[in-house]
Structure formats: C-alpha cells, structure tokens
Amino acid sequence: MSRSGRNTDRRVRTAKKRTASSTRWLERQLNDPYVKQAKADGYRSRAAYKLIELDEKFRLIRGAKRVVDLGIAPGGWAQVVRKLAPKAGIVGIDLLETEPIEGVTILQMDFMDDAAPDKLTAALDGPPDLVMSDMAANTVGHKQTDHLRTMGLVEAAAWFAIETLEEGGTFVAKVLAGGTDTELLSLLKSHFKTVKHAKPPASRKGSSEWYVIAQGLKPRA
C-alpha cells in the first residue's frame, strides 16, 4: 500500500496468448520485493537471497576455499559465493546454459551423468569444503512423482558431498515440503555432526521448498 492508502501492486493484463497462470506468475514477479532487490544488487535471481539468509544463520560461505554449485543456472548462488568468499575456487554444473561468471568454472551437463563427479572435482584444486545444491527435477504435474524425482537428485547430491567433501565440510540442499526423507536424513546424520532444516524468508510462503544444512563432515572410516 502507498502512503495515500492506494494499493500500488502492479497488475498485468491478460494477453490473448497468455494463460491465467502465467499472468499470475508475471504479476508475482513484478510485485516481488526480492526480484526488485536482485535487479538493484546485480544478482541474476531472487534465489541469491535465500543463500544469503542461510549464510547469515549458518555461516556457510565465509572462509570457504573450494565450492561446488549443483544446479548453478542462472548463477545467483555462485554470485553470492564470489562476493562473500572472493578467493574461493568455484565450479558449477547445470543442464541449462549459464552465462559466464568471472572466476567460476561452469559445466553444462547432467549432474546424473557418470562422468559429472570426476569433472567437478577435477575443476578444483583439492576437495571442496562446501557443496551446495539448488537442484529440482522438472515437474510432470504429479505431486508424488515430482517429489520422488527431486529427492532422488538430493540423494545423489548428498552422496557426492559425502564422498568428495574435505573433513569438516558443509552440504546444503533444497528439499521439498516435509523436509528430508527419513532414509536420507539418517544418511546425513551418520556422516555429518549437525543436520538442520530451514526455510529462509526469501523462500515464498506458498512454496514447498525447504533447505537441509549438514555441517561438519565426520572423518571417513
């Protein structure tokens, strides 16, 4: 609301070729303060603030030396790491094309490709101390199927983190409503000293996304 009491939210006229759902999405984007702030701050997506808020709470980034960004496109998270840990080596991967980011190695390929883990670790001068994943599977419209597909990616990311992180390292990943599945939660607790869930303020209230933060990778047997 403006000071005059009038609602200042911008409304979008429904174009002939635009569906009602896409019109609602566009209205939400135009009126989203995080979208406006991202443009002002030079971040490629509002998702940057989710990582900033998680970092403020869990101290994920400052002091990081080598970082892996799974699902890097469009690059907002990598931009945050570059700002908060400018000397860190960063490598990211995504199926989607991602515009170059200074100081970041970007691989355009499927993380589930057997060759992906080796290519990611080869791009860093040593084991990562932070693995972060904002990956989500393409939705098919069936809630249970979409959940299973996304959690399958999270599990693959978790195993990658467990197998490649240096001792004491951190893993942060997007999960869906309900948090981490029981088996995956048990896996993380067995390998990390602390495992917590959080929903940063920048995550839309109506969104089903949460984040799992696993810190302090235990020594490997």
Instruction: List residues forming the annotated binding site for S-adenosyl-L-methionine.
Output: 75, 77, 94, 110, 134
Binding-site residues, in ranges, read 75, 77, 94, 110, 134
Q: How far apart are CA 166 and CA 163, in angstroms?
A: 9
- Per the annotation, the verdict on 218 as an active-site residue is no
CB atoms within 10 A of CB 118: 10
In the set 65, 83, 174, 199, the catalytic residue is: 174
Q: Please say whether the beta carbons of 98 and 86 come within 8 A.
A: no
Closest by Cα among 154, 207, 211, 156 to 179:
211
Q: Edge-to-edge, what's the strand order for the sheet holding 170-175? A: 104-108, 89-94, 66-70, 130-133, 170-175, 210-217, 192-198
Q: Are 46 and 203 in contact (CB under 8 A)?
A: no
Q: Report which secondary-structure segment, H or E, holds 107.
A: strand 104-108
DSSP state of 59: -
Count how many Cα atoms sit within 13 Å of the Cα of residue 163 in the half-sphere of its side chain. 10
Helix H segments across the chain?
A: 20-31, 33-41, 47-58, 76-84, 116-122, 143-164, 182-191
User: Which residues are designated catalytic?
Assistant: 174
